[in-house]
Chains A and B, each alone.
Chain A
Amino acid sequence: MWAFIHKLGSPKWFYDISERLQPWFWAAAAMLILVGSVWGLAFAPADYQQGNSFRIIYVHVPAAFLAQSIFVGMALAAVVFMVWKIKVADMAAAVMAPLGAAMTFIALFSGAVWGLPTWGTWWMWDARLTSMLILLFLYFGVIALRGAFASRDSGSRAASVLAMVGVVNIPIIKYSVDWWYTLHQPASFTITSRPSMPAEMWWPLLLMVLGFYSFFIALTLMRTRSEILRRESNKRWVRDLAREEG
């Protein structure tokens, strides 16, 4: 177990294994998102109350899921980095933050655009909306802190601490719709219960959610590899690699 963790923590080992894993996640992401989009946009039936505006759900819900999962992933990577000093974990955390911010922005933007025809307003200081806006600012904070120090190690540690502290916002987002039910509806899509939507609406959503997760994994692997090249550029194996390919 410990040997495995330390092997996983070795940049060279991670660089090699992720090269082999990456194509599978890209292929899965492309297939799932393509099928899910066509199905959700053109084939799923219109909602009897919301008409076709409900098709926003197919980007809104996967983005909102990812926005929160990425923050949890980043916080876990921060713990691994702080406790075991595994550098690859910090590199992964660093590349996750911008994608998490982008997903939070997509969730907020698509929600605002969806709110206009559905609620008659694009924004309200509802608990769910506000806690998602806080999530966006937490992402900005993590990104800014990382760049705010002269030494990379200080930046890494400051960003890790903020990620670990900021993760308390995640359960607040999750339960906000139950604790303060004002505008945003409670979860329409959970792992534990049967969906309240008909199957032909629910299936494309499941494909999109899985597709977004695959996209996140593939992009994180790819960008962590770049980050390894950047930070380990003086290591023997990186220089050999540059020579072989050049």
Chain B
Amino acid sequence: MAFDSLQEFLAMGGHAPYVWAAWCMTAALMLGSLIHARVERRSLLRDLKRRERRAMSEMPRKEVNDA
């Protein structure tokens, strides 16, 4: 362990603003990419399912009309 206490760790030997700014920006962009990818996948699947349900519910009605 390079630090003796939590305060010392957070202070980063006086370099806290630099170290934490760089790390937080990195974490924010990487987590942001991950969350974006999840939201993207879910909304695509939701749209696909909705469209398929609509297609399926329209099918029988069409058959009735044909008959």
Report which A residues bind B (CB closer than 8 A). 37, 41-46, 51-53, 55-56, 59-60, 63, 98-99, 102, 105-106, 109-110, 113-114, 116-117, 215, 219, 222-223, 225-226, 229-230, 233, 238-239, 241-243, 245-246
Q: Which residues of B contact A63 (CB under 8 A)?
A: 26
Is B60 positioned at the interface, with any CB of A under 8 Å from its CB?
A: no
Whether B2 is near chain A, meaning CB under 8 Å from some CB there, is yes
Secondary structure of the B contact surface, majority rule: helix
Residues of B with Cβ closer than 8 Å to A? 1-3, 9, 12-15, 18-19, 21-23, 25-26, 29-30, 32-34, 37, 40-41, 44-45, 48-49, 51-53, 55-56
A41-B23, A56-B18 given; A243·B52 CB < 8 A: yes
A222/B26 in contact, CB under 8 A: no
A117 to B30, CA, bound (A): 25
Number of A-B residue pairs with CB-CB distance less than 8 Å in the complex they form? 100
Q: Which of B25, B32, B55 is within 8 Å of A109, CB to CB? A: B25
Distance in Å: Cβ of A63 to nearest Cβ of chain B: 7
